[in-house]
Structure 1
Amino acid sequence: MFRKKKSFLIILLLIVAILVVLLWHRIIITANVGEAGVLFRRFTGTEIDKIYKEGVHIISPLDIMTIYETRNQIALHEFEVLSVKGLRIRLAIAIRYRPQYDMLPTLHQRIGPDYLQRVVLPQIESVMRKQLGSYNADQIYTNENGLLNKAIVLAINEVGRNYVEVDDVIIRSLTLPENIVKAIEDKLTQQEHLRSYEFRLQTATKEAQRKVSEAKGINQAQRIISETLTPEILAFEGIKATKELARSQNAKIVVIGSGKNGLPLILGDKAFSSDPVKANRGTNLETQGEAQSPQLPSPSNLP
């Protein structure tokens, strides 16, 4: 009797060991770094109020735990958009997304693990087609008034309603037929030339206005000066200028006055020296220079 019980116990343990080996992957569940799990119980359904964090979890083989990546993920996607005139525009985008951590059980229950294919990509395509379909190809190609950015913002908000966070949608490339691209580039080049000509015209207009204002200022200044000038001031300024020229170290100067109040005759730079010796020396040098040069006419003989 004891042997029968012992044999039965051994057989039972073997069966349990075999089952454990076969169902090990359903009993011992590991959530790695950056992952979280949602448990579906066979008899009660999805656990909405519990998220299984990183680590090892032991569950019933009848239950199913689904592991979700909770870190940022990137999906590359390409699709076509029709412009308002029916021209096909091919967009290549990169989507950076992740599931909302606190809403993982709801996401699992209502959408499922393949939420990228069910929600993210279809909704982004739908919003982008709807927003860009009302513009011309050149407006889309040049991102006129930031229309691409506005479409991306709307797409991100739409996806966010389905328990998924989209950090950014990056447009990797925007492809048009080659002849359309060339036509758009030629148009942009001509527009830049036109802006350049308009800028030059504005610059010339401003320069003309500046010159007119400058001429008016000079005219007014000359009018004020002419009203305040007197013969005495002119004679005083002439004497000052004559002294400065006479003291010059770089030239020999001959200045002859004219009229009733004409300025005195000045020869050389020693005329206003305070040293009599130097003044005489300068006069002698000037006399020698006069001897070697043609005789100047006397001021009294000038007409």
Structure 2
Amino acid sequence: MATRQPEINFPKGGVLFIIAAVLLIILFSKSTVTIGPGEGGVIFETLGDGVNTEKTYGEGFHIVAPWNRMIVRKVRQQSITDEMNVLSVNGLEVKVSGTIWYEPEFSNLGLLIKTKGEDYERELLDPAINAAARSIFGRYTPEQLYSSKRDVIEQEILDEVQNVLKDQYLSVKRVLVEDVKLPSTIRIAIETKLKQEQESLEYEFRLSKAKKEAERQKIDAEGKAVANKILSASLTEKILQEKGIDATLELSKSPNSKVIVIGSGKDGLPIILGNQ
């Protein structure tokens, strides 16, 4: 004979409590948002006017009404790298790669998303960068793009992008042109020309240096010649005799043994005979 299992009866109040607790946990999980480091958030009011532009929420834990949604975006400085084909001033196609540093305005994040959408980089930043790059690169020759004008071009692109994005709640901080790729034949021709120009500058420098050294030596020699001429003109026969006598007197005071013959030397100067 089979035995009956005892029945477990939950009180109706307990079942309702469990259901309420589960619903409360689900509701709470949908009503809490954690915004990470370097991020900001704005509320999308489903039953209201959409994106609330009055307040931007910072990092940390936040409670949101379950019928609303927190839109979280990075608000720290960030960068995007892109590659595009542009035309130089003479119509040559050039492939350019670069990096842009930008930063959304924290206090105006709601206005940025409301007016430009959540994908504001694609909707706002990319078109501004592409238009500025094509406009600026179109002012220069391939040689200028490849060598001498990189810094100038970066600043001009930055200025133009900042002008386009003025009052658009998105700030561009820096533009870096990393690489300019030309057709190989054009690149080789430019590199050859630059090498020849460098060699010419080095030759001119060596030539200028040698010319300056020759001029220096000429001036030095002329100075010595003038000095010798002045010295020779000042050394009369009488002065030489007096200096010879003075030197003889000094030598006669020396302790070394010697014989001085007065008036027997050339020009009447004394002769000194000695073993030292």
1:142 equivalent among 147, 151, 163: 147
Q: Which amino acid aligns with 1:90?
A: K
Q: 1:199 to 1:163 in 2, by over 3 A?
A: same
Distance 1:19 1:260 in 2: 132
Q: Structure 1 residues 120, 235: closer, same or farther in 2, change over 3 A?
A: farther
Q: Are 2:41 and 2:73, in contact at CA under 8 Å, matched by a contact in 1?
A: yes
Distance 1:104 1:230, change over 3 A: same
Contact 2:40 2:74 in 1 (8 A): yes
| Displacement of 1:20 | 6.1
2:203 pairs with 1:197: yes
How many residues are paired up?
252
> Given the alignment, which residue of 96, 101, 105 partners 1:100?
105
**Equivalent-residue separation in structure 2 for 1:266 and 1:172 (angstroms):** 88
State the AA in 1 paired with 2:48.
Answer: F
Q: Which residue of 2 aligns with 1:57?
A: 62
Greater Rg over alpha carbons, structure = 1
8 Å Cα contact 1:140-1:147 kept in structure 2: no
User: 1:57, 1:147 → 2: CA distance?
Assistant: 46
8 A contact 1:156–1:168 mirrored in 2: no
Structure 2 matches for 1:116-127, cutoff 5 A? 116-127=121-132
Report the TM-score when normalising by structure 1: 0.71
Structure 2 length normalisation: TM-score? 0.77
Q: How far apart, in 1, do the equivalents of 2:273 and 2:87 lie? A: 92
Q: Give yes or no for the alignment of 1:40 onto 2:47.
A: no
Where does structure 1 lack aligned partners over 5 or more consecutive residues?
A: 1-5, 248-256, 271-303
CA spacing shift, 1:164–1:232, aligned 2, 3 Å: same
- C-alpha distance after superposition, 1:95-149 (max 9, x if no partner): 2222111211111111122121122222112111101111110110013384323
Could you tell me how far 1:173 is from its partner in structure 2? Answer: 2.0
Give 1:87's aligned residue. 92
Percent identical across equivalent pairs?
31
User: Quick check: 1:261 aligned with 2:268?
Assistant: yes
The structure with higher relative contact order (CA 8 Å, sep 6+) is 2
**CA shift for structure 1 position 66:** 0.6
- State the AA in 1 paired with 2:31: I
Q: Whole-Å Cα distance in 2 between the matches of residues 232 and 20 of structure 1?
A: 126
**Kindly tell me: are residues 198 and 20 of structure 1, through their superposed partners in 2, closer, same or farther at Cα, counting changes over 3 Å?**
same
Distance 1:240 1:123, change over 3 A: farther
